[in-house]
Amino acid sequence: MSKTKEETLEVVEETEELSPWYYFYSVGCGWCKKTEPIIDELNKEGHDILKLDLSDSENKKINDELKKEFNTQCGTPWLINADTGKGICGFREKDIIETWLDGKDIPAPPRPKGPMPKPPFQGSTGKEETKWKKEYKKWAEENSHLPKIQSADEILARPRPKSEPPKPPNPQGTDAELETWGKEYDKWKNENGHLPNLQPVESILQRFKQQRDGAQQQPAQNTQVLETKISKLEKRITDLEQKLNDLDFTVGEVDNNPTDWEIAIEDKLDSLLDHLGV
């Protein structure tokens, strides 16, 4: 028996229904880069997790609506079931995400009871390293509930900076100020060439300047919009004043008391002038 038109439409609507499994990510997010291959692998296995880049305004709108609906806050990565509100905030391993896909609640990951002692700089004295090891041992014992705590020797075996990097420059700094900071950073970078993934100073300065120029252009755009609105309001005031001048109120004896209509018009003009700051 052939299907009716209504039955066919119902099947199409069912197959086109969007997945409730959302994965929000942002470009440049380190934990998102670790989550991405896990999501791809799960989708290849038959799951249907929608990948939503927050740089897209529509995706950002969906993100904000879900946070408001389920009264939650999270950066990226963020996985959430749009129907139930059950989600995962931050990076989690594949088995945890599979548990989430099964519809189960995911407890928050264990949190440290305090900040980990900062490892000594590369090239520190043996005395400084010994002191840090004692502090780290105490911290590790207090945070034994955390998974995969590394030993002090494992941490010291990793590349470490030889000194503190220069503090970021003023976001609204001039080109000269940014260039001065760039020279300091470049010197620090050369001294710490053993560290992996250090960005070239040119790329960092370019990003700083783009962010600064974008922030400066925004007020100018807002001012232009405001000036356009003011111009339109001024025209409306002029038109209202002209209409008032064209009206003939002389009917027999002149009544110097304003009518209700005149009072209403004056109130509107006062409101417009207040809005303009006149």
- Express each pLDDT in 163-199 by its tens digit: 999 998 887 889 999 999 999 999 999 999 999 888 8
Q: What local confidence, expressed as pLDDT, does residue 236 receive?
A: 73
Q: What local confidence, expressed as pLDDT, does residue 173 receive?
A: 86
pLDDT grade for 133, boundaries at 50, 70 and 90: very high
Q: Are 86 and 47 in contact (CB under 8 A)?
A: no
Every domain range in the chain assigned CATH 3.40.30.10: 19-101
Q: Are 157 and 148 in contact (CB under 8 A)?
A: no
The two most distant CA atoms of the chain are separated, in Å, by 107
Partners of 195 in beta bridges: none
Separation of alpha carbons 235 and 229, rounded Å: 10
Task: Indicate whether 111 pLDDT > 80.
Answer: yes
What mean pLDDT is predicted for residues 87-116? 88
Q: What local confidence, expressed as pLDDT, does residue 42 receive?
A: 93
Q: What local confidence, expressed as pLDDT, does residue 69 receive?
A: 92
Task: Indicate whether 204 pLDDT > 70.
Answer: yes
Residue 80 identity (one-letter amino acid):
I
What mean pLDDT is predicted for residues 214-229? 64
What mean pLDDT is predicted for residues 254-265? 59
Judged by DSSP in three states, 137 sits in: helix
What mean pLDDT is reported for the chain? 81
Separation of alpha carbons 274 and 24, rounded Å: 44
For the chain, first and last CA: distance in Å? 77
Burial of 220 (0-12, 13-18, 19+ CB in 10 A): exposed
Partners of 88 in beta bridges: 79
Q: How far is CA 68 from CA 60, 71, 82, in A?
A: 12, 5, 12
Separation of alpha carbons 161 and 194, rounded Å: 8
Judged by DSSP in three states, 79 sits in: strand
Task: Indicate whether 130 pLDDT > 80.
Answer: yes
Separation of alpha carbons 77 and 56, rounded Å: 15
Side-by-side strand order, sheet with 78-81: 50-53, 21-25, 78-81, 87-89
Residue 6 identity (one-letter amino acid):
E
**Phi and psi for 24 in degrees, rounded to 5?**
-95, 135
21: which DSSP letter? E
Judged by DSSP in three states, 60 sits in: helix
Q: What local confidence, expressed as pLDDT, does residue 212 receive?
A: 84
pLDDT grade for 272, boundaries at 50, 70 and 90: low
Name which of 2-6, 223-227, 232-236 the model is least confident about. 2-6
CATH of domain 19-101: 3.40.30.10
Residue 20 identity (one-letter amino acid):
P
Task: Indicate whether 8 pLDDT > 50.
Answer: no
Higher pLDDT, 6 or 206: 206
